[in-house]
Structure 1
Amino acid sequence: MDVARGETLGLIGPSGSGKSSLLMLMGGLELATGGHISALGQDLTAMDEDALARFRRNHMGVVFQSFHLIPTMTALENVATPLELAGRRDAFDVALAELEAVGLGHRAGHFPAQLSGGEQQRVALARALAPRPEILLADEPTGNLDEANGAAVMDLLFDLRDRSGATLIMVTHAPELASRCDRVIRLRDGRLADPTAASEAAE
């Protein structure tokens, strides 16, 4: 399967079909037992855990269904953390600007438990996009949100992606979200349902 730079790709299929596993393999969050995974010209399957962590820090943003915010940190600190790990001296200035971009500048000092589900997911989006990743992975980013909040988060995700030019790969069960992607790949029983279509990507 090939994914072109700047493409928006939707991964769909029934529960247990392997969508999230494929996404985690793409991000080096799970290790492949065979084959090769290349991203931005680098072989992820040849990297150890430290090298994979550095690669994600420098090139990828990940948005999870369950937010995965650090509960003891404020929204501002959560967004600033990956920037600090990358050695950015302006980490908190950039983090605040990202929170403002998702409409949460006024909630920067709040902890995750003080935020609604929609607000927590927007913080997670700001955290993923703050380092300006070339690849953005999203695993059911609206799965824990009600319909209104889910629609707002998805509008925001696509808007931020358009502004950053990142490659977006998204797992979703929602047909209306998949329809917004440039291309959709269906998985069934751990395999691509249409391998021929999946391999077609513009250079």
Structure 2
Amino acid sequence: MTNLVLELQNAALSLDGNAGRVDILHDITLSVARGETLGLVGPSGSGKSSLLMLMGGLEQVTEGRAIALGQDLTGMDEDTLARFRRDAMGVVFQNFHLIPTMTALENVATPLELAGHKDAFERAEAELQAVGLSHRRDHYPAQLSGGEQQRVALARASAPRPQILLADEPTGNLDETNGAAIVDLLFGLRDKHGATLILVTHSHSLAQRCDRVVRLRDGRIAEDVRQEAAE
């Protein structure tokens, strides 16, 4: 079995906007090994989040190939991609994306229910406990602080035991204290479940905790550095 979980081969991304077609990513070739922690860094507009979206099949490459866990995402339709993400990936966004009409427990349990897990609520409760929010299980997102909402989002992403965990600026909307707590939880869940972690960040200290850092500039890989992760 290959040790690679993600692979981009000469991948490019172009999107149609009001001003016409915009080229966002150019000739990206990148492999990520099982269990690796990869930080994506670079200035605003360099293509970090777009690259993460390609890795998660949330955007389709316009040239080249994107392969995850041996599956070619390039030719998958939206329904197949959605099922693949549900079963294999967890995604944490900067803006939480919780369902406002559902409690914390229901938000975490929903993807488990959709995947057919009969113990969805039991697993959801265990994940909330793992992020220190079992006492907030019956609260709605509007009743939670930003840090608490991100903890719920993190519990939801990790509950299905994904092989790949993607995080897009997971501390971007949080103060320093809450941001540090989320980072510790993110790496702790990675260690607990053995997932491959890929994250977009502007935080130098967060990037320094990764096994490897890829720096983007103008939609291209400018630097790919393997480093000793900080303890």
Q: Say yes or no: TM over 0.5.
A: yes
3-state SS of 2:122 partner = helix
Report the alpha carbon displacement of residue 53 of structure 1 after superposing the two structures with TM. Answer: 0.2
The residue identity in structure 1 corresponding to 2:78 is: E
C-alpha distance in structure 2 between counterparts of 1:78 and 1:178, whole Å: 29
CA distance, structure 2, for counterparts of residue 107 and residue 82 of structure 1:
19
Greater share of residues in strand: 2
Distance between the aligned counterparts of 2:222 and 2:74, measured in 1?
24
Structure 1 residues 198 and 151 mapped into 2: Cα distance closer, same or farther (>3 Å)?
closer
- Matched-pair identity in %: 78
Q: What residue is the counterpart of 2:205 in the other structure?
A: 176
In 2, the alpha carbon distance for the partners of 1:49 and 1:90 equals 27
User: 1:190 maps to which residue?
Assistant: 219
**One-letter code aligned to 1:72:** T
Equivalent residue for 2:67, pick from 38, 61, 66: 38
**1:157 counterpart residue number:** 186
Cα deviations by residue, 1:57-106 (Å, 9 ceiling, x for unpaired): 00000000000000000000000010000001100000001000100001
1:6 aligned onto 2:35? yes
Aligned to 1:121: 150
Alignment coverage as a number of residue pairs? 197
Deviation at 1:189, TM superposition (A): 0.2
Distance between the aligned counterparts of 2:150 and 2:138, measured in 1?
Answer: 16
Structure 1 residue aligned with 2:160? 131
In structure 2, what is the equivalent of residue 96 of structure 1? Answer: 125
**Structure 1 residue 198: Cα displacement:** 6.7
Tell me the distance in 2 between the aligned counterparts of 1:89 and 1:80. Answer: 10
How far has the Cα of 1:46 moved from its partner? 1.3
Show structure 2 runs of 5+ residues with no match: 1-29, 227-231
User: In the alignment, which residue of structure 1 is the partner of 2:78?
Assistant: 49
Q: Which amino acid aligns with 1:90?
A: D
Point out 4+ residue stretches in structure 1 off by more than 6 angstroms: none
Aligned residue type for 2:168: D
Contact in 2 for aligned 1:2/1:198 (Cα 8 Å): no
Cα separation, 1, equivalents of 2:225 and 2:87: 27
Q: Which has the higher helix share?
A: 1
**Partner letter of residue 38 of structure 1?**
I
Q: Relative contact order: is structure 1 or structure 2 higher (C-alpha 8 Å, sep ≥ 6)?
A: 1
Larger radius of gyration: 2
What SS does structure 2 have at the residue aligned with 1:51? helix
Amino acid at match of 2:132: G
Alpha-carbon distance between aligned partners in 2 of 1:114 and 1:31, rounded to the nearest angstrom: 36
Partners of 1:79 and 1:130 within 8 A in 2:
yes
Q: Is 1:143 the equivalent of 2:187?
A: no
- Name structure 1 gaps, 5 residues minimum: none
